[in-house]
Each structure stands twice: as C-alpha cells, then as structure tokens.
Amino acid sequence: MRPSHIEAPRQAPVSLPPVPVRPRAGAARWYGPVSVCVDAAGAALPVAAAIVEVQEPHPLRLAAVAAVLWPLTRVAGRRYTPSAWGDGGGLRAVLGDWLLLVGALATLRVLCGLGSVPAEAFTALIPALALTAVCHKVIHRHLLAARRDGRALRPAVVVGAAPTVDAVVEQLAQRTDHEHVIVGSCPVGDDEVLSGVPVYRRLSREMPVDPGQDAAAVLGAVDELSAELVFVVPGPQMSGERLRWLSWALHDRGHQLVVVPGVVDVARRRVRLTSAAGLTMLHVVPPLRRGVPVLAKAVMDRVGALLLLALLAPLFLVLTLAVRLGSPGPAFYRQIRVGRHNTRFPMWKFRTMVVGADRLKAGLEAANENDGHMFKMRRDPRVTPLGRVLRRYSLDELPQLFNVLLGHMSLVGPRPPVPEEVAEYNEVEMRRLHVKPGLTGLWQVSGRSDLSWHETVALDLRYVDNWTLAGDLNVVARTARAVLDGQGAY
C-alpha cells in the first residue's frame, strides 16, 4: 500500500492539456438492452432444447423461467451498470451469478414437485455462462475504447488543497480505463495549481463563518462546467465538519460527492467501510502474505515449473545447440539477482550477448534509454543476432524455470533486479522485494522495456500489495499474447 495521503511533488509539476469531454449519453445506450437479450436468449434456448430432448413436460415454461431468472439474478447483483461494465474482472461475478441461477432453478424444481435437475438441463445452462461472459468482455472493451476516445466520461470538479488537486489530476491522467475526467477545481488556499486544470474559485483556508460560501463556490463550478461529480480530498483545511456542510449542499441539489481518501493502488476487495460513533471508517485489509493462498501459489509454482520443463525439454535442447553454434561461448548465462527480502541468488538465462558483455556495459552507460535504475538499449551492440530473436519472444528466460523449481523465483511476480539496481532503491522501491520475483508479471505483459521506471515500479507495487491466485492466472494467460506480440522486448 502506498502512502495514505496524496501529495504531488511541487518541484516537478505536470501540466495537462484540457480533456475534450464528449456527451456521455449515447455512448452506452445499447449496453443494457443487448446484455439483457443475450442473457435471456443464452438461458432460454439451450434449456428449452434440453428439456425437449429429455421429453420433460412444459419445456416452454421452464425455458421462460430460466430466461427471466438469469437477467433478474444479474439485476440483483447490479451487473447492468456502467461501473460493472467498466470492471475488467467480471468473469468471477458472472460465475457467481451462474451458480446462484443453478441453485435457484434446482430449488424451484423441488418446490414444484418436478424432482432433481436432469444432467442435460444442467449442461444446457453452460451456454448462458459463456455467452454472458463474452458479452461482458465485448462491452468492457468497447467502453474502454470509448473512454480512450474521450467518450463515456463523467466530468468532475475537485476540491482540496492545491497539491492534492494536482496529485488527483495526475493520478487520473495516468490511465484511461476509468470514467472520470477533471474539468475544474476549487482549491483551498492561495497555492498555485500546477497541473493545468482550470480554477473556478478558491476557498478560504479556514472554515468560513457562513458554510454557504463553500457551497456557493462549488455549486457554481458544477453548474458552469456541467460536472456530474465533486471530488473532495480531505486535509487540514478541509475538515470533517466542513465536508459535512458541503455534502449537505451538494446532495440537496442532487449532485454526487466522492471523498478521495488518498490511498492509492489498493484493490477494491481489500477495502471495507464501517462506522463507529458517527465516524465513517475505511478498513484496508493487509496484503496476502501467509495462509492457504500462499501455499497454493508455492505448489502451483513448483508443479507448473516441473511440467513446463518436461514439456519444453526438446526446445531446450534446440536452443542450447543454437546458442552454442550462433556465437562463441557457453549456451547459458549466469547472473546474480536479488530476490525476496533482499536475498541474492544465481539466475540462469540463455546467453543472448557476446562473451564479456558485462565488462562492456560501463562504456554504454551514456546510451541508456531507461529513465530509472535499469539499463536498457533498444539497439544494444552486445546482443548477438540470435539473441535478438530469443529476447523478442522471451525464449532466453526459459532457464529461469529451474530457479522457480528451486524456490528462488515464482512463475508470476516482479522483475528480478540486479544488485546494482537495488543499491539505488529508495524505501518505496524496496517494497518490490517483499515477494519473490517472477518469470512473468505485470511488467512483462504491460509493455516491458517500453515502460518508464515510474510505471515499472507502480506495476510491481500494485502486484506486491494486491496479488491473488486469480490475478496470477490472468497474468499467465496474458503472457502468451505478450510473448507473441514481442512489444517492448529488446
């Protein structure tokens, strides 16, 4: 988890151009009707066919019940909302809804005296699961494309101290997979807003005698900028009492208020709200570090590495011969890397550079294309012709399966750094070493060497704090596509 407050570095502001916001209506009008029709058809048609096949009575009635229950189950779970369509992790929700549907249909059959669910009818419900998942994915991708194009966005005004206004704007501008765009601000105090977002009116540092002054300024910004939301970042000047008065004014006018607590890169599943003595409390669950999930990850690592080594043994032999014949030197390259808890271990790769490449690195430091502690060159002269091919498709990384088998690494995790990089780490960057490094990870499937150092660290910290087994499986699935694409591999 990152620091619990948002504060932008005042010495290095990022000036952001105004974001053109296109009308939100019309961008998602067809999502709901299409989703409902796909869900109803996916449940009704296969069930009707199965009931007819087993010659049970009332096939149309049973199909109609399935066609109604499936969308109703989705409605109860609030699956037909923009927030649900914007959530890329919808498969787990679809599966949970589907199991609820199966249980509901089985219960109805027993209550109606029809006996247990026939195996054919149960199997016929599987298309509903598949069609709904595919439909959700299609809508999700269409929505993301619309957001990248400046559509399906919700304009918002941000209220808070100028540094926190800058931080919120910059944090939201880093990604395009959300629906929010800041169109104006009401900073507290006289500090300059450096992010380039328009300042509508400033609020006093102290809570005014008449709380209506805050409301008039913020409501004026909302009306003039046609904003749908108001983001408020609490701080010393924006106290709970002041925020309370502002929320009353906004809610009386039918506007939505969003309180930004400043906690970043924390998965939604780790957050829950509680209250005590009138205080609203935000509980953040610690990252998974022990228990059954951690044990399951260790088993998956060892078993997965062993199976892959057995399956890829012929490829290992071919690549070993190719590297030996391609250039003078051994087939494998051994390098010391840093793992969990700053523990060093020997990592193995297929050799992709000329022998003695480490000694030549000092003369190439000026050509480093990475803005952080890593050394990366798009056209590194030390890389052999065969090495370029191996790197493009990540074949040089395959010997690290032995490191996974030995427990030095995991199948999924942050990129394993070299000791020279770790020596330059600050306290935040050292958190990358709280888990085992991985053969693949968010860095590898999100652009690899094309990412900046800041982006690399942000992805690794997101993984360290929020990893789950389901997330690991998702990364493994995305790795195949990233390897075939070869983007950022050099």
Q: For every one of its 490 residues, what pLDDT tens digit does the chain have, with 9 covering 90 and above?
A: 444 444 444 444 434 444 444 444 444 678 888 989 998 888 888 877 776 665 666 667 777 888 888 889 888 888 888 778 887 656 778 888 888 888 877 777 677 766 555 566 667 788 888 888 888 888 888 888 888 888 888 899 999 999 999 999 988 887 787 889 999 999 998 889 998 899 998 999 888 888 888 999 999 999 999 999 999 998 888 888 899 999 999 999 999 999 988 787 788 888 888 888 888 888 888 888 888 989 999 999 999 999 999 999 999 999 999 999 988 889 999 999 999 999 999 999 999 888 877 776 766 766 665 555 666 666 778 888 998 889 888 899 999 999 999 999 999 999 999 998 899 999 989 999 999 999 998 887 876 666 777 778 888 999 999 998 888 888 888 887 777 665 545 4
pTM of the shown model: 0.71
- And the tokens for 255? 């506007």
How far is Cα 387 from Cα 396, in angstroms, rounded to an integer? Answer: 8
Place of tokens 């990893």: 467
What residues have CB less than 8 Å from 229, skipping those under 6 apart?
154, 155, 156, 157, 180, 255, 256, 257, 258
SS3 329: coil
In one-letter notation, the amino acid at residue 104 is: A
Q: Which of 236, 288, 287, 242 is nearest to 262 (CA)?
A: 236
Residues 74-106: b if buried by 16+ CB within 10 A, e if exposed: beeeebbebebbbbeebeebbeebbebbbebbe
Residue position matching structure tokens 């009575």: 57
Phi-psi region of 412 (alpha: psi -120 to 50; beta: other; left: phi over 0): beta
Q: How far apart are the first and last CA of the chain?
A: 31
154-161 and 180-188 beta bridge pairing? parallel
Pairing assessment for the beta strands 229-232 and 256-259 based on DSSP bridges: parallel
Q: Which pair of structure tokens corresponds to residue 309?
A: 């080594």
Which residues in 153-244 belong to E strands, given as ranges?
154-161, 180-188, 229-232
Evaluate whether 204 touches 172 at the Cβ level (below 8 Å).
Answer: no
Write the CB contacts of 265 (distance below 8 Å, at least 6 apart in sequence). Answer: 1, 2, 458, 461, 462, 465, 466
What does the block give as tokens for 306?
């062993």
Quick one: tokens of 71?
A: 């969308």
d(CA 177, CA 180): 9
CA distance 440 to 86: 26
The token pair at 50 is 């199965």
